[in-house]
Amino acid sequence: MKIILSILLFAGLFFYSCVSEKPVEPVQAEPIVQEPVTLAVQEDTETEAEAAPEPEPEAASEEDSYQVSEELYQQTFDEIESLIKELNQVISKKQYDRWLNYLSTGYIRKYNSQEVLDVINEYPQLKDNGIVLKNLRDYFDWVVVPSRSRAVLGEIVFVGETKVVAYSSFEGTRAKLYQLEKNDTNWKITVWD
């Protein structure tokens, strides 16, 4: 017991001797001048809408866009908006066979390729849920249906006389919906290099 009292007394004396009786004078600090910070905000970032994105090659940037008249732009916008509404119905009803009618042969070939599907299988949305795509039907069920059933057209960008990229706005960012190409009188979802 005496040892404990001695330790406590020694600790108290040590603590008391460390405390200065002299008041500490405040130090006058120089005012801090902050430089203005410029944040780079990238407008019109291209992200995919909702669930899993489609890994299509990027279309030409707007700087490289094909110039068209306002009249042609509006006519094409209306056609594509109507097409997307039809597609939404087909996709939301999970009508795979009807969906195929809206696709170019290049698109079908690409998204039925195991090499492309293996890349898509690495997406966290699929990988984390143990989903493995093996064919175009799987791609439709697990990627297209969750991400494209309620698409809303926001703008289109011409990248050629018969080629258009359709965009939507999703949570304040620009989201690519489809690459489309017109053959004869119909627009088809397609891919290009």
User: Nearest CA to 78 among 150, 176, 153, 182?
Assistant: 153
Predicted model pTM: 0.66
Low-confidence ranges of the chain (pLDDT < 50): 1-60, 62-63
Place of tokens 């926001």: 154
Q: Report if residue 178 sits inside a domain.
A: yes
Helix (H) or strand (E) holding 173: strand 173-183
Q: Report if residue 164 sits inside a domain.
A: yes
Residue 152's domain comprises 46-189
pLDDT at 64: 60
Q: Report if residue 64 sits inside a domain.
A: yes
Residue 32 phi, psi (nearest 5): -90, 125
Q: Report if residue 111 sits inside a domain.
A: yes
Distances (CA, A) of 24 to 11, 13, 15, 21, 74: 24, 21, 18, 9, 75
Residue 183 identity: N
Q: Report if residue 12 sits inside a domain.
A: no
pLDDT at 45: 35
Q: Report if residue 4 sits inside a domain.
A: no
Q: Which residues have a Cβ under 8 Å from the Cβ of 41 and sit 6 or more positions away?
A: none
How many domains does the chain contain in total? 1
Residue 95 phi, psi (nearest 5): -90, 80
pLDDT at 170: 75
pLDDT at 95: 98
